[in-house]
Amino acid sequence: MRWVWAIYCAASLTALGAAAPAKPPTKPAEALPSQAPALVWKRGTERFDAQLAKVPVLEVLASIRLQTGWEVFVDPDLQLEVTAQFKDRTAGEALDLLLGNASYALVPDKKTSAKLYIYRSNRDQATQRVQVKAAKPRTIPNELVVVLKPDKDGRALASQYNAKVVGEIAKPNAVRLRFEDEEAARKARELIEANGNWGEVDAVYIIERPTTPEQAGNAALPRLALEQGSSADGSSVIIGLVDSAVQFKGMARTDFLMPSVNLYEGELTASTTPGHGTSMADAIMRGLSDMKMAGTDLPVRILPVDIYGDRATTTSFDVARGITEAINGGATIVNLSLGSAGESKVMHSIIQQGNERGVLFLGAAGNTPVTTPNYPAAYPEVLAVTATDYTGGIASYANRGEFVDIGGPSTTRVQFNDRMYIVSGTSAATAYNSGVAAALVAKRTLTAQQAGARMRTVLRIAPSKP
């Protein structure tokens, strides 16, 4: 198992004043969900689940390339349809079951990603490289956002273009409009932009709900080495966690949590398994715990802001709303363990405003081995966090674009309802580093942005080729 803890904490966090945490245990087999995706590589355990029926081999290999970050080469003359159903298999076991009579070689590489060759009889036949395509932005086709000029009224704009106002943000005077259909939205955008007097027009970008953790057995984790404290003036460092809901009931520690702000109702907070927001809250506390100096308390609080409710997706507009709620709630550090390819003007405007007020933003670079931007991490005001592997380099599956600032441990452990879970990816690395930043602010008397600058220097990671 390629755990990043020892290298990351011993080499990098020592420079920030942290102790190395313990290595987590391995994870036993688990059942496939009833509606499992076609092929899933579980980053925390590096095992595969599959539920495939007559899928062309190139589609399967593209999925493997996309999820693992391995370089994949295939024999262009190989004709194969993949039918397989299994759970919790190692790479070798999974490839045996996926590829049938085809031959393969999986070659590890300590300096770069592993290389997978698939061929009929000779490895030299594997000449076609399977490419990774960067995700394209997804939008809500019948909606627009307009960042209005200061003297403009959103409801007047909606009335003029026969739209409905479905969301507003006071600063920066942004309005979300819903039209009858995609064509109506397209025509309205053309007219608003041609008019030039209303403001900047933007799409409403869809942001998927990040994946949830994998169960890793029933063993209890050691208690977090944290005690809640107060600063001399009684204040706390507040981390805004803009994510899915945090499930207070079931968490090992709730004393660091403030009451949640919920943009939507309906999140199943009583679930018996942890959601993404719950996992990120725990990862933040792990970062705090690893940065804690003996005999000291940490005046830190986490403000959960639920921007999903019971929905499978959220939007760039709602992320902007969530950031606003976090900052209005006193957050000087905002954790954004989410993202998409959509470069939202309203989200960037909100982040720029927060940056001017001294807020530190940390964003997940994305779990695809490409160099294309992932937002909000790619905005210059955001500390972009990618995931590191056991060598201290960028994890094979993670984004390694020029916008990436720092690395962080891609895997952390979560305790929920007395069971252990593993959460991995750039989301976990981001949350962990938000905890590190908060500890630096709390105990080193740094501002949030000074803490970010120090982390950018100490934890800097060089971009690499996909």
The CATH number that applies at residue 107 is: 3.55.50
In a domain, 466, yes or no: no
The token duo for 374 is 């992932």
**CB–CB of 73/61 below 8 Å?**
no
Which of 180, 208, 236 is the C-terminal boundary of a domain? 208
In a domain, 30, yes or no: no
- Shared domain for 100 and 172, answered yes or no, is no
- Shared domain for 416 and 288, answered yes or no, is yes
Question: How long a stretch of residues is the chain?
Answer: 466
- Residue 282: burial class (beta carbons within 10 Å; 0-12, 13-18, 19+): buried
Give me the residue label for tokens 């209890």.
220
In a domain, 400, yes or no: yes
In a domain, 277, yes or no: yes
- Shared domain for 270 and 156, answered yes or no, is no
β-bridge partners, 257: 302
Full 3-state SS string of the chain = CCCCHHHHHHHHHHHHCCCCCCCCCCCCCCCCCCCCCCEEEECCCCEEEEEEEEEEHHHHHHHHHHHHCCEEEECCCCCCEEEEEEEEECHHHHHHHHHCCCEEEEECCCCCCCEEEEECCCHHHCCEEECCCCCCCCEEEEEEEEEECCCCCHHHHHHHCCCEEEEEECCCCEEEEECCCHHHHHHHHHHHHHHCCCEEEEEEEEEECCCCCEECCCCCCCCCCCCECCCCCCCCEEEEEEECCCCCCCECCCCCECCCEECCCCCCCCCCCCCHHHHHHHHHHHHHHHHCCCCCCECEEEEEEECCCCCCEEEHHHHHHHHHHHHHCCCCEEEECCCECCCCHHHHHHHHHHHHCCCEEEEECCCCCCCCCCECCCCCCEEEEEEECCCCCECCCCCCCCCCCEEEECEEEEEECCEEEEEECHHHHHHHHHHHHHHHHHHHCCCHHHHHHHHHHHCECCCCCC
Position 261 scores a pLDDT of 96
Q: How many domains does the chain have?
A: 3
CATH number of residue 144's parent domain = 3.30.70.80
In a domain, 34, yes or no: no
- Shared domain for 176 and 97, answered yes or no, is no
In a domain, 33, yes or no: no
**CB–CB of 334/360 below 8 Å?**
yes
- Shared domain for 306 and 416, answered yes or no, is yes
- Shared domain for 54 and 163, answered yes or no, is no
Structural domain that includes position 53? 39-68+70-130
Q: What's the half-sphere exposure (Cβ side, CA atoms, 13 Å) at 116?
A: 24
353 CB-near residues (< 8 Å, 6+ apart): 171, 172
The pLDDT profile of the chain, 466 residues, written as one tens digit per residue, is 333 334 344 445 556 655 444 443 333 333 333 334 489 988 878 899 999 999 999 999 999 998 898 999 999 999 999 999 999 999 999 999 999 899 999 998 776 788 999 999 999 999 999 987 777 899 999 999 999 999 999 999 999 999 999 999 998 999 999 999 999 999 999 999 999 999 999 999 999 998 888 887 666 666 676 766 655 555 789 999 999 999 999 888 888 999 999 998 765 555 788 999 999 999 999 998 888 654 456 789 999 999 999 898 999 999 999 999 999 999 999 999 999 999 999 999 999 999 999 999 999 999 988 899 999 999 999 999 999 987 788 998 899 999 999 999 988 888 888 888 988 899 999 999 999 999 999 887 799 999 999 999 999 987 665 5
Which of 157, 173, 208 is the C-terminal boundary of a domain? 208
CB atoms within 10 A of CB 304: 27
Position 264 scores a pLDDT of 87
Sheet containing 199-208, strands listed edge to edge, beginning at the edge strand earlier in sequence: 164-169, 174-178, 139-148, 199-208, 313-315
- Shared domain for 161 and 119, answered yes or no, is no
| Distance from C-alpha of 155 to C-alpha of 447, rounded to nearest angstrom | 39
Question: Side chain identity at 69, as an amino acid letter?
Answer: G
- Shared domain for 104 and 156, answered yes or no, is no
Nearest to 449 by CA among 366, 371, 354: 354
Which of 165, 193, 208 is the C-terminal boundary of a domain? 208
CB atoms within 10 A of CB 378: 22
In a domain, 463, yes or no: no
- Shared domain for 380 and 426, answered yes or no, is yes
**CB–CB of 385/430 below 8 Å?**
yes
Q: C-alpha distances in angstroms, 137 versus 281, 341, 377, 383?
A: 27, 5, 15, 21
Burial 220-240 (b: 16+ CB within 10 A, else e): ebeebebeeeebeeeebbbbb
- Shared domain for 98 and 235, answered yes or no, is no
- Shared domain for 96 and 12, answered yes or no, is no
> What is the torsional sign of CA 368, 290, 302, 264?
positive
Position 12 scores a pLDDT of 54
- Shared domain for 9 and 56, answered yes or no, is no
Relative to beta strand 360-364, strand 333-336 is parallel
In a domain, 31, yes or no: no
